[in-house]
Structure 1
């Protein structure tokens, strides 16, 4: 039977009153007041409404005004191992609140212990907050998105829990009717709110379930404190109660031991608010990692007179998951946010990035342009605030064009135009474009899904191709590709750009007996998720089959086929994509020889601790036999 909100509210009040009477009878008055306040706050946020989502406009972040405290350090200083000390002051102030994520000590957590930055939900044993927030609007029943947490490995080894949390606790919204909708990750561990009332160790804890619902009061907190005291502190991270990645470790002891000690000192400090504490940690960590990223690009000869556009920060690869920064034309730094913590701390990130860039010659005076990917942010549990379309301020620079250079070829880019998710240029195919061009001398080339003409321009300018046809379904892309051709003074008639659906174009070309020596097939992301793989593989199969039919039937030719879908690239270590192309060759009656596979340009760096989890691009170069020598 469905109850209305008033009935639910009455039951909530009755339940709270009953628990309150019990607490009053069994605890001190101070403890009762704290417990009752926590319960009523929890009921407002959770009772009858299910699990909360977080957005920039509505989320309640666990940060309060500054209040100093004389409590002892939460974590002891040791050169080789950091253990957790849970002793606190007589009254917890907002600035002395500390939050912990305790992970299982098992096979699945081995990667996190060895340096991987992403903590899967299934590896979390429990979360703990030491101290109650004095802000009555704060919700202490969960750890909110973007909170600074210490990541601790439990001292007790347990047997492996199948799957390590990769999707085991994910469910579709709306049951059977939710087909195709975004999946939601639920918390599958309990949260403990510890209130230490005096300096002699006395205190209590309140246990909440995975939805933030109150379960019980715990009089003896020794077991909770013991799990921290005996555990191994491995790093500090930013929490997300919704994502399948519960914590992103921004500073790991094994990777940055000196930085780890500095962050540890900030974590223990009580002279600033929790918000300020977290911002200080982010600022310190980002300065270190951005400088590392700049130095690594210098070793790649980026920037250079040949190339002034590249990826400066590649998310997790540079230790900053959810944050990407591209340098375009040596004039603009385009910042792309795809994680909740990046949006929450936008101002801090912009400030630090500007300061670090200004300290390096060749990166001074750059315009900073902030972009985000709403779909990725929603997957991360973060909803952008609604935009008032009537009063939106349009950047006066939106129409401005930035001319960039890659391998001495010029391109127009549009970084200021925020009405589009695209800037007009992708730098991930830089090496693939140039390397394939070396095979194009006097060849007829077909560039499918040509976008703004990168492969086509390289084939003609660097490769000396006899002719090239670029096909794309977007008129904007065709116009941009044509403009790039003019920008580089390409000989008239060398490149032709055609607006058409590539499947229909290939069918028509086959009917007209057109053939090519080299074909590039670089479609957009066809498998955005693992669930879309089966459908995407059928599309990859048909596109590659039809492309092979257009390869010179007498001499054979080359096929550069690409996928930018991480799900396709990563499945079976990349073998799945190659098998899909092999199946297409059988259907086309052509024989394949794999010449090489490659990924994104080196500036799209990877974290070896989590590779190939972030690999997304595969470019496979095949020799496709002529029909006479390899027909089936």
Structure 2
């Protein structure tokens, strides 16, 4: 295993538990390293810092696997995956759909593993994980006996690592649609072609939480995707739920999910959400509860400025359409936007609408997406529960 040495005074953040080393923090030339190879890490004085893997083509040049001297082999991955699985059993032993491995938070940077009942989905984002892909598939197969293991290596992030994109079934057979139960609702998921790994598991508990606010209410669910928010709102006793999304395929699935969960209050429209919110304001239409759960507006720091404009605008329009006493659930999954910035941006949007509000709760991702306290990048999901007054 080769060694890389940090520049002077560049080890403090790492010794505090951060898992990334940037290329400008490394003393050595990176030209002699192969993408994905394991390396020992030392500080400027040659003292050991940890073990990780390197990619000379990436701004995040090294991702740390351990702060102790270990061999990166099958036993290493088996132990880490078992530990991650056992961590979830404390909270999800009675459930069959959850995230089993969440990258850096489970000391497996670049790796995501999601379970959907008997079907497991794996996503690899980095060269250091990609070279161990077959081994990880075999560990999942031998330890958990799934019916199928699907590779969803289709994230654009892989291009930054000089990796190609692919989607395929690595083990077993996967039907075009599977039916699963998530937070006591039935969903039919396309694990090969659906968003992310098939479902936004990070929002599943927030979806269910909205029920507390919807009894007897008129609800608008913006960017509804597969209808998780909308169907839970209906089952919470809403009198009417309107779900909006720009994708015809998503809207078709929403209608299916409303039907199989026996809700009759839902209707879904295929529209541009920004345009529809403007039309709602123009009609002076109102909703007792509005949910804003858009896709990431900022996937990098360079996009933050424009993203803030977008978040401010949709929250302004939503606030105008909520009567006093009504509720706004507003979310951001943009890692590049920190919680304080998002909260301030939402406040600016509400104020621009001429409204006042109470922040009732700040929610985030669930326990199967644990936040590594030494690495704020692992907290990406923001969900504010607000009452307009």
Matches within 5 A, 1:250-269: 250-253=65-68, 260=69, 263=70, 266=71
Q: What is the distance in 2 between the residues matched to 1:469 and 1:595?
A: 24
1:397: how far off? 5.7
Give 1:400's aligned residue.
Answer: 176
Larger Rg: 1
**C-alpha RMSD of matched pairs (Å):** 2.3
Task: Give the counterpart of 2:102 among 314, 317, 342.
Answer: 314
**Mapped contact 1:100–1:127 kept (Cα < 8 A):** no
SS at match of 1:484: helix
Change (3 A) 1:480 1:303: farther
Change (3 A) 1:114 1:366: farther
**Mapped contact 2:102–2:108 kept (Cα < 8 A):** yes
Give 2:387's aligned residue.
Answer: 623
Give 1:122's aligned residue.
Answer: 24
1:126: how far off? 2.1
Is 1:384 equivalent to 2:174 in the alignment? no
The one-character-per-residue Cα deviations of 1:83-103 (angstroms, maximum 9, x if unpaired) are: xxxxxxxxxxxxxxx410111
**Mapped contact 2:34–2:56 kept (Cα < 8 A):** yes
Q: What is the distance in 1 between the residues matched to 2:18 and 2:169?
A: 40
Task: Give the counterpart of 2:335 among 562, 566, 583.
Answer: 566
Give 2:202's aligned residue.
Answer: 428
Change (3 A) 1:288 1:398: closer
SS at match of 2:304: helix
Change (3 A) 1:236 1:395: closer
Give 2:62's aligned residue.
Answer: 247
1:318: how far off? 0.6
**Mapped contact 1:250–1:285 kept (Cα < 8 A):** no
Is 1:113 equivalent to 2:15 in the alignment? yes
Structure 2: gaps of 5 or more residues: none
Is 1:104 equivalent to 2:10 in the alignment? no
Task: Give the counterpart of 2:39 among 135, 149, 153.
Answer: 149
Give 2:219's aligned residue.
Answer: 445
**Mapped contact 2:21–2:63 kept (Cα < 8 A):** yes
**Mapped contact 1:318–1:606 kept (Cα < 8 A):** no
1:448: how far off? 0.5
TM-score normalized by structure 2? 0.94
Is 1:504 equivalent to 2:281 in the alignment? no
1:422: how far off? 4.1
Matches within 5 A, 1:365-384: 365-380=146-161, 382-384=162-164
Q: What is the distance in 2 between the residues matched to 1:599 and 1:119?
A: 26
1:508: how far off? 2.1
**Mapped contact 2:152–2:197 kept (Cα < 8 A):** no
**Mapped contact 1:448–1:520 kept (Cα < 8 A):** yes
Q: What is the distance in 2 between the residues matched to 1:252 and 1:375?
A: 29
Change (3 A) 1:308 1:393: closer
Is 1:488 equivalent to 2:261 in the alignment? yes
The one-character-per-residue Cα deviations of 1:95-137 (angstroms, maximum 9, x if unpaired) are: xxx410111342x421222433222222212269xxxxxxxxx
Q: What is the distance in 1 between the residues matched to 2:165 and 2:272?
A: 36
Change (3 A) 1:122 1:502: same
**Mapped contact 2:147–2:173 kept (Cα < 8 A):** no
**Mapped contact 1:101–1:150 kept (Cα < 8 A):** yes
The one-character-per-residue Cα deviations of 1:121-170 (angstroms, maximum 9, x if unpaired) are: 22212269xxxxxxxxxxxx511111121111222xxxxxxxxxxxxxxx
Give 2:293's aligned residue.
Answer: 522
1:354: how far off? 2.2
Give 1:588's aligned residue.
Answer: 353
Q: What is the distance in 2 between the residues matched to 1:375 and 1:145?
A: 17
1:455: how far off? 0.6
SS at match of 1:237: strand
Q: What is the distance in 2 between the residues matched to 1:474 and 1:353?
A: 33
Change (3 A) 1:377 1:393: closer
Matches within 5 A, 1:267-286: 281-286=72-77
Q: What is the distance in 2 between the residues matched to 1:577 and 1:584?
A: 11
**Mapped contact 2:36–2:130 kept (Cα < 8 A):** no
SS at match of 1:119: strand
1:398: how far off? 6.3
Q: What is the distance in 1 between the residues matched to 2:24 and 2:250?
A: 43
Is 1:331 equivalent to 2:234 in the alignment? no
**Mapped contact 1:403–1:412 kept (Cα < 8 A):** yes
SS at match of 1:489: coil
1:366: how far off? 3.7
Structure 1: gaps of 5 or more residues: 1-97, 129-140, 156-230, 254-259, 267-280, 358-363, 626-632
1:608: how far off? 2.3
SS at match of 2:362: strand
Q: What is the distance in 1 between the residues matched to 2:133 and 2:171?
A: 18
Q: What is the distance in 1 between the residues matched to 2:238 and 2:15?
A: 51
**Mapped contact 1:117–1:252 kept (Cα < 8 A):** no
The one-character-per-residue Cα deviations of 1:373-416 (angstroms, maximum 9, x if unpaired) are: 34101122x231899xxxx999996653111111211111111x
Change (3 A) 1:436 1:386: closer
TM-score normalized by structure 1? 0.59
Moved over 3 A (4+): 392-399, 420-424
Give 1:238's aligned residue.
Answer: 53
The one-character-per-residue Cα deviations of 1:216-252 (angstroms, maximum 9, x if unpaired) are: xxxxxxxxxxxxxxx2123221111121222122122
Q: What is the distance in 1 between the residues matched to 2:58 and 2:317?
A: 39
Matches within 5 A, 1:46-57: none
Is 1:288 equivalent to 2:79 in the alignment? yes
1:609: how far off? 2.3
